[in-house]
Amino acid sequence: MRERVCVTGIGMITPIKPFQGMDEFWNALCSGEDAIKKIKPPMFNHDKEWLMASIDLSDFPNPVSPEDKLQFLVEKAFTMARDDAHLQGDQTIGLSIGTVLGNVLCKEKRLMEQRTYHRGYYPENESLSYITSHLVSKYKVNGPGITVSTACASGTDAIGVAARKIFAGKADCMIAGGVDVLSDFAITGFHAFQAITEEKVRPFDKNRSGLAFGEGAAFVVLESERCAVRRKAKIYGSFLGYASRADAHHMTGPHKEGRGLAHAITQALLQANLKPDEIDYINAHGTGTVYNDLMETKAIKKALGNAAYDIPISSTKSMLGHSFGAAGVIEAICCLLSMNTRTIPPTINFQECDPACDLDYVPNIARRHQVKVALSLSAGFGGQNSALVFGEL
């Protein structure tokens, strides 16, 4: 029997109560605070406003330029998680970060200034793995250093990959996280797909019309149970299972029956040695797009059978928007906080039931509920689907 992996630290910065602490974030989220509003894109100068959940530069504790936003957020969330875990210097600590676009604002600034690549010029801070390399160097991370980019499942996969490193004995501890910031590049691409809503984000609602972008950075500290118990660390919960499965279907559209996501759920539960009726809560991918929410509902029912109808499900993207690489880690932390507070956050803006989306989506009001086992789901372009299972120790 393999040794268990525990979560001993959490840290994140989101558009809801940024830089104000975890309790403030959780209370606001469970109260249904909506961070999504109409704002202009972060870099290029044009008049159109989009519904987005932004961490305003005016909220930062120190002056930060737009192109430095990602690095500041990731350092802050990383140190929050590390300090929350009270890590010791004799541990072999690794790092795993999920991101979709990396430091994309630096690229956009270069384009605005019409700077081009030339001989001898290498924009190091534009590489996808830059933020991982930066943290490894600055904070003397002495274990594995990994960058994961699997579309919108990146943060979830970063946690799963990190846990596997501990199981394999490659590290005593892994700090796993995700980060992405708002960018004109993402807005332009998703607008072309007609995936961005002009109204409220309404996951699973009959009148849902698309997603809104968000941004943020989030990290969890994963540690072998042996190390956590030895140093008497606070434990938020246990990592029980993880699986990643591809649709093998289309570069952008999800498989309509949720083939890949259903398989990921099934395999994650198999690894956790759990039955569907042992799940107490699901934090859904829940973007608010017509096809994704329908696909996810089908996948949950396919994987869990009749038990799916009794499990409360919520989409925190209804309040936070879709923060790409950060989303999976933020949602994993929401699962852990649900276990520790016995409270499930709501899916806000839910007004009318969709007969095809007929599960319990915790509409509009948070719910008191004992959560011993929680499931976190992510789905991304290219049919990247991932599932995480967390449980009480």
How much helix, strand and coil, in percent to the nearest 5, is found in the chain? 35, 25, 40
- CA 309 to CA 271: how far, in whole Å? 23
The one-letter code for the residue type at 172 is D
Angle between helical axes of 104-112 and 184-192 (0-180°, round to 10): 100
Pure H helices in the chain = 22-30, 69-85, 104-112, 130-138, 154-167, 184-192, 225-230, 259-272, 290-304, 317-320, 327-341
Helix (H) or strand (E) holding 38: strand 36-39
Residue 302 sits at φ, ψ, to 5 deg, of -65, -40
Residues 6 or more apart whose Cβ sits within 8 Å of residue 270: 241, 243
Is 285 part of the annotated catalytic residue set?
A: yes
Residues 6 or more apart whose Cβ sits within 8 Å of residue 135: 74, 75, 78, 95, 97, 141
Is 255 part of the annotated catalytic residue set?
A: no
Per the residue annotation, which of 30, 173, 227, 285 is the catalytic one? 285
Question: Which of 102, 6, 15 is CA-nearest to residue 51?
Answer: 15
In the block, tokens 């998703």 appear at 190
DSSP state of 206: T
- CA 106 to CA 127: how far, in whole Å? 10
Is 335 part of the annotated catalytic residue set?
A: no
> In 10 A of CB 89, how many CB atoms?
7
- CA 300 to CA 296: how far, in whole Å? 6
Angle between helical axes of 104-112 and 69-85 (0-180°, round to 10): 160
Per the residue annotation, which of 30, 106, 173, 322 is the catalytic one? 322
Residues 6 or more apart whose Cβ sits within 8 Å of residue 204: 284, 286, 293, 297, 313, 315, 347, 350, 354, 357, 359, 361
Per the residue annotation, which of 106, 152, 173, 335 is the catalytic one? 152
Q: Which residues are catalytic?
A: 152, 285, 322
